[in-house]
């Protein structure tokens, strides 16, 4: 089962058309990714490692507008793991239904903040990613 994060749509999320602005979905997706890593238990060790996850591509498909007062469920799972990168798949659903609001594939590389370069995805970080992937299968 994919990790789930709930977000209630507030007035400040909306654009002039009365629905969630497309740029806000980036924030919703990021919040859900942080929650997923935090809930996996790997976040403290990861933050101390000097590594970062640098997003290099986001592909979002919008299916239906979300409006004020609705609660969204963001499902987050690891889609694939490569040598230096991984892809996280996220779906935004209307809470309590199968109604798809949006879905995204987020590709990131593992970045060594001290060496200022991308590095191999290995060790405890890779193990954490594999655990998240197994739970979302």
Query: What is the secondary structure of 109-137 as a DSSP string?
Result: EEEETTTTEE----HHHHHHHHHHHHHH-
**Cα gap 101→91, rounded to integer Å:** 8
* Catalytic hit among 15, 95, 105, 112: 15
Active site residue 98: no
The DSSP symbol for 65 reads -
97, 57 in Cβ contact below 8 A? Answer: no
Instruction: Considering only the C-alpha atoms of the chain, give the largest distance between any 2 of them, rounded to a whole number of Å.
Output: 46
The residues that are catalytic are: 15
């Amino acid at each position: 089962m994919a990790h789930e994060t709930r977000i209630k749509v507030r007035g400040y999320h909306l654009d002039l058309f009365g629905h969630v602005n497309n740029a806000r979905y980036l924030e919703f997706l990021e919040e859900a990714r942080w929650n997923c890593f935090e809930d996996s238990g790997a976040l403290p060790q990861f933050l101390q490692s000097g590594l970062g996850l640098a997003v290099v591509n986001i592909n979002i498909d919008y299916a239906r507008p979300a409006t004020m007062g609705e609660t969204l469920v963001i499902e987050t799972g690891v889609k694939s793991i490569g040598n230096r990168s991984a892809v996280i798949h996220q779906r935004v659903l209307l809470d309590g239904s199968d109604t798809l609001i949006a879905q995204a594939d987020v590709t990131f590389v593992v970045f060594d903040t001290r060496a200022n370069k991308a590095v191999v995805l290995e060790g405890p970080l890779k193990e954490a990613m594999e655990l998240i992937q197994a739970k979302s299968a």
